[in-house]
Amino acid sequence: MKKSTTLLPSLLLGLVIAFSNSGDAEAKEMDSNSKHATTHSNKSTAKHSPATKKVVVKNKKSVTAKSEKVALAPKDVKKSKSKTVVKSKKSKADGSIAKVAKNTPKTEKPIAHKFKPSTKIEREAQRKDRTREKLAKISRTGKVSQVAKYAAKPVIIAAAPIAAIASTRINKPVSIQQSSNTPFALSVESRAALVMNAVTGEVLYAKNTEQALPIASITKLMTVMVVLDAAQALDEPITITDDDVDRMRNTTSRLKVGTVLSRAELMLLALMSSENRAAHALARNYVGGTPAAIAAMNRKASSLGMANSRFFDATGLSSGNVATPKELASMVKASTTYPLIRRFSTTSEHALAISSNNIQQFHNTNYLVKSPDWEIGVSKTGFINEAGKCLVMQAKIKQTPVVIVLMDSMGKYTRIGDAQRVKKWLEAVPAG
C-alpha cells in the first residue's frame, strides 16, 4: 500500500510534464506557422502592390531630406545674408564710383560763356537772332522748307558782306528824329522807319534811317522799273522755266514750270503777290539776260542817289540787296511816276488763267489796299529772315501824299500796326 501511494504522485507529475511539453510544441508550431503565413502574405502583397512600397520609401527619404534641410537652414540663411550684404556693399561702391564719374567735369572741352546783353538794344538784337534761328528752316509759306528739288545744281549765294551788315545793326544805337511841325510823339515798333512828305521832301519822322538794311521783296519795285524803262513788249509771252525755280531759299510758287504768261501779267504778280518766279522770269527775259537786268537796277539806284544800295538779284531773296530807309523813300517816290506800278501794286486781287483748265486767284500781300480808310498810290511788302517784315507805301493822308517806309518788323502784324499808327499820328497833327 505504501508503494502505491508513493507511485501516484510521481505519475501525476509525469502526466503534468508531458502535457506541458506537448503544449509548448504546439505553441512553437503555431508560431512557426504564423510566421510563415505572414512572410507569405508580405511577399504576395509586395508582388501585387509595388507602388505602395516605393511611396513609403520615397516618403521616408523626403522626411529625412526635410529634416536635413531644417537642420541646415540656419547656416544657409547666415551664408545667404552674408552674400547679400557683400553684394549690396559692392553695388553701393559701384554706384558711388559712377556718381563720382558723372560729377567729374570733362576737361577736354572748354566751357563756353554765353553773351549776356547789357542794354535794351543788345537784348532786342539777341531776341531777334534767336527768332531768326528758329525761322531759318521755315519758308515764306509757313511750311518747313524741304531739300531743294534740284539740289544737284549750284546754289547762288549773294556776295554781300552780310556779317558786316548784321554787326552794324546790333551795335548802332537807336536814332529817332521828328519834325517840329508834329507836336505829338510817334512810336513805332519797326527797327527802322521813315515818314516823308512826298511833295516837299520834308522828313516828318525818322528812325535809324542811316543804316543799310536788307530790303527783301521791295527789290521787285526796282525790277519792274528797269523792265519798263527797257520798253519791252508787255504782251510778249514768257515761259516759266527751271531757271526761275528758287534754289537759294527753296521757296514755293504757284507758277509751275511750263506756265506761260505775258510780261504784263508777270509784272502784276511780282508787285501784287510778290511772286519770285515772276520777278526772276522778268529779269531773265531782259535784254542781255539776268546779269544785264541786275546791272541796270544798280545803275538806276545810282541815278536816284541811292549811294548805299546794292542789288544782287531781281527777287529780293538775296540778303545782299540792301538800302537805307531814306533811299527806299526815294525809290518809292520814283516808282509813283509809273502808272502800271501804281495800278499793279495796289490791285487787291486778280484771277489769272495759269493753263487752259486752271484759273487761280491771286491776292495782294498788303491787305491795307482793300481798306476804304486808305488811299494808297504805291505799295510793296517784303520778307526774308534777315530783313524781317518790311512795308513801303505812298499814300494820301489828309490830302497830302506821304511816303511811309517800315523795315525789320518782327511780328506778323507789326508793320500794319505801325502804318496805322503813322496814319493816326498824321491825322492828329493840326492843319496849317
Question: Which residues are the active-site residues?
Answer: 217, 220, 274
Amino acid identity, position 124: E
Distance, CA of 173 to chain centre: 32
Q: All 3 cell numbers of residue 365?
A: 500781300
- What is the spatial distance between Cα 422 and Cα 181, in angstroms, rounded to a whole number? 15
Task: Look at residue 351 and give its three-state secondary structure.
Answer: strand
- The H-assigned helical ranges of 110-183 are 120-134, 162-171
Q: All 3 cell numbers of residue 38?
A: 505572414
CB–CB of 401/198 below 8 Å? Answer: yes
Instruction: Name beta bridge partners: 255.
Output: none
- What is the spatial distance between Cα 55 and Cα 251, in angstroms, rounded to a whole number? 89
- The H-assigned helical ranges of 49-108 are 50-103
Nearest to 394 by CA among 380, 374, 381, 376: 376
Q: All 3 cell numbers of residue 239?
A: 515761259
Cβ partners under 8 Å of residue 194, min gap 6: 203, 205, 206, 207, 209, 325, 326, 328, 329, 403, 404, 405
Nearest to 185 by CA among 172, 204, 202: 204
